[in-house]
Amino acid sequence: MAVARRRWWGAAALCCGAALATLPRTLPGQAVVVDGPAAALLPTLTPSLVVRALGFANVRPLRVRVQIATSVDFSAATIAVDSAFTTSDTTIAVQITRALPSEGTVYWRASVQGTSGAAAESPITGPRTVPAWLTLVTPNSPTGDIFDIRRPLFVWKSARLAAATGAWKYTVEITNGGRTEQATAGLADTTFRAASNLQANTSYRWSVRATLPNGETVRVASLASFLIVDPPLPTTTILYQNFPNPFPSATAFSTCFWFDVGEPGGAVSLDVLDLRGNVVRTIVPARDGVTQFAAGRYGRGAPGAGSNCDNRFVWDGTASDGRTVAPGLYVARFRSGTGAPSFRRILFKGR
């Protein structure tokens, strides 16, 4: 039996209703079966279906209609594919070439009508889950990532497409404080190494925009920031701006403090003050009581720890007595040895 292959990009010129058009009575022995992926998660954004018209051999050509929707009632607003065509074949391969909704739930069905006017409708198949169009792989830890190289490798993945749909194109963007540091467009691969060295001891985020040949796009940003650590010992003692700031954020309950101690090291203190100058919380010395620090970099999480923050040097918005402070502006005061203190503004959004 011949197999006719059909490609359908989306809504056809037919009216998309809540149900297929009212069908004339099905004759004995006539039925419609739609074969498609059986797994709950579709293997591709553009699946292949096979429509089999049983008992229609003597009433050809056939009018075939295929629908895919995101609701089981096939309401007009949820129709993703609605295609109709005429064929003399009773087994028809249909290749969907428009990407189905990312991570959506879909159902499909078909109807066949012969020259006798009799028609049949297939059972509804589903639910099936559409894979995510785009997923960032690394760096993408929800608590942040740390690299000891200046040009880290970025990795992502996208769901498979039928050859008839074309190939993905990607744009990678690396930002610092919302400002674009690097951006590269037109990539075909799913890996990217930074085009030039990133700055050490700086927090970055990254995102990928994936584009289909028909112009549809999806953009995914990293769950948290990543940082580049500089292995050599610092020569200057400095307190960096805490992050996230303001806090808490969607991914962080506390704000993190980084500081460097230059050679030969020395005594360090770090306090959170209110705007009247009162000490709200002491960060250093921490519970371990340590005030003398060797030359080095502090506050960063260890490489491979899945976080870019050392939990010894964080503030969660509570005072020394454990109570949560009022939302508002606070100040971090950092002292090293006998030198003048330095200050950083902290915005606490409250709980």
Same domain? 125 vs 7: yes
Q: How many domains are there within the chain?
A: 3
CB atoms within 10 A of CB 154: 21
Whether residue 195 is contained in a domain is answered as: yes
Same domain? 212 vs 145: yes
Provide the token pair at 24. 């004339």
Whether residue 258 is contained in a domain is answered as: yes
Q: Is 337 left (phi over 0), alpha (psi -120 to 50) or beta?
A: left
Same domain? 269 vs 284: yes
Same domain? 219 vs 248: no
What SS3 class is residue 321?
Answer: coil
Integer Cα distance of 310 and 143 in angstroms = 11
Residue 22 pLDDT: 52
Whether residue 233 is contained in a domain is answered as: no
Residue 9 pLDDT: 40
Which residues, 6+ apart, have CB-to-CB distance to 351 below 8 Å? Answer: 248, 317, 324
Residue 13 pLDDT: 35
pTM of the model: 0.65
Q: Tell me which of 228, 254, 270 is where a domain ends.
A: 228
Same domain? 194 vs 258: no
Same domain? 343 vs 296: yes
Same domain? 122 vs 140: no
Provide the token pair at 39. 């797994």
Provide the token pair at 52. 């089999």
CATH code for the domain in which residue 342 is found: 2.60.40.4070
Integer Cα distance of 346 and 254 in angstroms = 11
Same domain? 93 vs 118: yes
Per the structure, the complete domain to which residue 106 belongs is given by 3-129
- Contact 334/239 with Cβ under 8 angstroms? yes
Residue 289 pLDDT: 87
Q: Tell me which of 83, 113, 129 is where a domain ends.
A: 129
Same domain? 124 vs 140: no
Same domain? 22 vs 104: yes
Residue 65 pLDDT: 97
Provide the token pair at 216. 């549809």
Integer Cα distance of 258 and 238 in angstroms = 9
Same domain? 122 vs 138: no
- Contact 174/194 with Cβ under 8 angstroms? yes
CATH code for the domain in which residue 41 is found: 2.60.40.10
Same domain? 8 vs 125: yes
Mean pLDDT by 10 residues, the chain (351 residues): 44 40 69 97 97 94 97 96 96 96 97 93 97 97 88 96 95 94 96 89 93 96 89 82 92 92 83 96 91 87 72 95 96 89 96 86
Q: Tell me which of 129, 145, 178 is where a domain ends.
A: 129
